[in-house]
Structure 1
Amino acid sequence: MPEGDTVWRTAKRLHGALAGQVLLRADLRVPKFATVDLTGRAVLDVTPRGKHLMTRIEGGLTLHSHLRMDGAWKVFANGERWSGGGPAHQIRAILENPDRTAVGYRLPVLELLRTAEEDTVVGHLGPDLLGPDWDQDRALGNLLADPGRPLGEALLDQRNLAGIGNVYKSELCFLLGVTPWLTVGALPADRAALLPPLAKKLLEANRDRVVRNTTGLHAPDVFVYGRASRPCLRCRTRVRVADQGDGSRERPTYWCPVCQSGPAPEPGSPAARRARGRAPGRPR
């Protein structure tokens, strides 16, 4: 799933292509909004909110989209061949102005609402790591409010702080020296206080990068994510992977058993076996 930095870049690209321009074509290929006519209206701005995209349109309307696992927005110059997004049957939205065309592929969430009602879809989110509402004290308070919850699950809960996905979850836990299964309440106070500003620092450092980097090295780009069975960059112990989740949505989760303290699934456990079956390939 695209994380906050990726969504921020997508919003920046869409804003540059659409903001201030009048729509010559607006094709929303979802049944509920298929007959809506937005032509002749100007796009005012495109704003990210956590992992959500809010395209605000003249007349008090907002086109809300979410990429989830597979969605993507591509921008093309008018007359340019649409390539790199996917086949035509996967297109869910087309927004065209005199210069550019934005094409939304495989968008699992695409809805039109009143701008005044945006809180109905994003009001539940915690402070946005890359947004103007960022408040690290509030974010920390949200995390600490459920001390018995595993840290990795708490970090992925967008109600606590918005923008962290599975990559940053694993990388943040490594940088803090704890496993993602350590409960929030067991996290030492000094590391807990470090968590929100560290998360913000990582996302800000990567929001303009195509290839995400959390190590500060030319390569590898990440400490543990996607590096199962490869040596830890610090201690050379093999990085492990296992599923983590609340039972409804489990994600492959990576950690170093030496550099990170706290509970974790044993090698060969069901969670470890499931994760190995669908862990991402070797990172750059």
Structure 2
Amino acid sequence: MPEGDTVWRTAHRLDGVLAGRELTRCELRVPSLATADLTGRHTLEVVPRGKHLLTRFEGGLTLHSHLRMDGSWRVFPVGTRPSGGPAHQIRAILGTAAHTAVGYRLPVLELLRTTDEERVVGHLGPDLLGPDWDPGEAVARLLSDPARPLGDALLDQRNLAGIGNVYKSELAFLARVTPWLPVGELPRDVPERLVATAHRLLTANRANSDRRTTAAGARTRLHVYGREGRPCLRCGTPVRRSTPAVPGASGDERVSYWCPGCQHGPVD
């Protein structure tokens, strides 16, 4: 599932070609929206909220989409053939006089009143890349269930919105604990540092498609994620990878990468 920085870049790209412009083409290829047509309306803005995308139009309408595991929005100059996948995977087309935004494999696509946006994003915690970012509230939510494994708590968008599986593994490594350590057992100063690090990393990577969590000049861009069997950058121990117990499971049952040499706590 895309991380919050990826969703932020997607929103920024869509906003750059749609905001302030009139729609000359609109196709929403899901049964519930088969008769909806936004042609002639101006797009007001495209904003991210955690991992959700909210495309707002004049007249008080919002198109809500979520990328989940493999959805994407791609932008093409008018007259260019879309190339994000086969045509049958296209779920949305929003066109202006100059550009066409195409949504592929979107598992969530719905049209709602802008005043009703809280219905789909109101459950989210503080957005790491949003104007509502509140580190104190994020820490409080993260620690609200002391017995919950850290990885599970980090992935729960109700605690803080924007963290996915990559950042989950990287943040646990930087905190020197395993993703399965109960949050109530984190050393006293770790939750605040962990939340601050999450905000710093997502902010640094939001405009950079080549995500980096390591220091500039390091020989690899990530500390542990995707590095199974390779030496830990900190202690040299081979990085390990967990296998999900249940296909498609969420929380701490997702694949995790960690170093058994310098991350302390229970393991899967």
TM-score normalized by structure 1?
0.91
Please name the residue that 2:66 is paired with. 66
Q: Which moved more, 1:250-259 or 1:235-244?
A: 235-244
Q: Secondary structure at the match of 1:263?
A: coil
Please name the residue that 1:258 is paired with. 261
Please name the residue that 2:204 is paired with. 205
Please name the residue that 1:155 is paired with. 154
* 1:252-280 C-alpha deviation (Å, 9 max, x unpaired): 10000011011113xxxxxxxxxxxxxxx
Matching of residues 20-99 of structure 1 within 5 Å = 20-83=20-83, 85-99=84-98
* 1:96-118 C-alpha deviation (Å, 9 max, x unpaired): 01111000000000000000000
- Give the letter aligned to residue 13 of structure 1: R
1:34 positional shift: 1.1
Matching of residues 182-221 of structure 1 within 5 Å = 182-218=181-217, 219-221=219-221
1:244 positional shift: 5.8
Unaligned runs of 5+ in 1: 266-284
- Aligned mates of 1:188, 1:16 — CA distance in 2: 43
- Aligned mates of 2:145, 2:245 — CA distance in 1: 16
Q: Secondary structure at the match of 1:197?
A: helix
- Aligned mates of 2:245, 2:45 — CA distance in 1: 35
Please name the residue that 1:127 is paired with. 126
- Aligned mates of 1:27, 1:95 — CA distance in 2: 7
- Aligned mates of 2:138, 2:188 — CA distance in 1: 14
Give the conservation status (yes or no) of the 8 Å contact 1:153–1:244. no
Give the conservation status (yes or no) of the 8 Å contact 1:23–1:41. yes
- Aligned mates of 2:129, 2:142 — CA distance in 1: 18
Structure 1 residues 245 and 118: CA distance shift in structure 2, 3 A: farther
Percent of residue pairs bearing the same amino acid type = 66
- Aligned mates of 1:54, 1:245 — CA distance in 2: 34
- Aligned mates of 2:104, 2:171 — CA distance in 1: 30
- Aligned mates of 1:243, 1:173 — CA distance in 2: 17
Please name the residue that 2:113 is paired with. 114
Q: Which moved more, 1:34-43 or 1:216-225?
A: 216-225
1:226 positional shift: 0.6
Please name the residue that 2:139 is paired with. 140
1:196 positional shift: 1.1
Q: Secondary structure at the match of 1:215?
A: coil
Matching of residues 231-246 of structure 1 within 5 Å = 231-243=231-243
* 1:39-90 C-alpha deviation (Å, 9 max, x unpaired): 110000000000000000111000000001000000011011212x101010
1:245 positional shift: 7.7
Q: Secondary structure at the match of 2:161?
A: coil
- Give the letter aligned to residue 96 of structure 2: N
- Aligned mates of 1:231, 1:217 — CA distance in 2: 19
Correspondence 1:229 to 2:247: no
Aligned CA RMSD, in angstroms, stands at 1.3
- Aligned mates of 2:197, 2:246 — CA distance in 1: 25
- Give the letter aligned to residue 156 of structure 2: D
1:243 positional shift: 3.6
Q: Secondary structure at the match of 1:38?
A: coil
- Give the letter aligned to residue 175 of structure 2: L
1:95 positional shift: 0.2
Unaligned runs of 5+ in 2: none
Give the conservation status (yes or no) of the 8 Å contact 1:153–1:245. no
- Aligned mates of 2:30, 2:85 — CA distance in 1: 17
* 1:149-168 C-alpha deviation (Å, 9 max, x unpaired): 00000000000000000000
